[in-house]
Amino acid sequence: MLTAHTVGNKYKEVKNLTVVEIAKLVRKDLKQFNDCKFSVTSDYNTITVYLKDSPLNRLEIYDQSQELGWGGKVIAIEKNFRNKVKEILDQYNFNNSEIMTDYFHVNFYSHFYLDSDLENKYKDQLLSKEAA
C-alpha cells in the first residue's frame, strides 16, 4: 500500500501515460490470476477494479464491527488477495500527499471492489461455513 511520499516501482515507465493507458497495463497484470475475472474501468484520474468471478477461497467473512465498532459481518475479498491486487495498482502510482495539510497529490486514485453478483453467488456458502 502506498503511503505519503512514495513512488511505485513502475511509475517511471508510465509517468507520461494517461490513466486509461495505465488501466490497460493493470488489466494485463491481473491476468496472472487466471482463476478470476475482473472488470477494470478508468476515467481521467481513477482506476476501478471489480472482482467479477473467482473461486470461493478468494472471499472471506469480514466482521467490520471489530474494526469500526459498528456494523456486522460482510462478504469481503480475502485480505492477502486484496493486497496483491492493490500492489499491482500501486506499482504504477505515486503518492506525494500531505495528510496534515489536506493536500492530495497522486498519479491516480484506485479502488478494488467485490462485484455484488459474486457476493450473492457465494453468500450462503460463506455464511454456512462461518456458522459451522
* DSSP 8-state symbol, 98: B
Q: What is the mean pLDDT of each run of 10 residues along the chain (132 residues)?
A: 77 95 98 98 96 96 76 87 97 87 87 95 86 68
Q: What whole-number distance in Å separates Cα of residue 64 and Cα of residue 82?
A: 16
Interval 5-28: pLDDT, tens: 789 999 999 999 999 999 999 999
Query: Closest Cα partner for 61 from 132, 1, 12, 5?
Result: 132
CB-based contact 115:48 (threshold 8 Å): no
Coil, strand, or helix at residue 31?
A: coil
pLDDT of 110 reads 96
pLDDT of 128 reads 84
The full set of domain ranges for the chain reads: 6-55+77-119
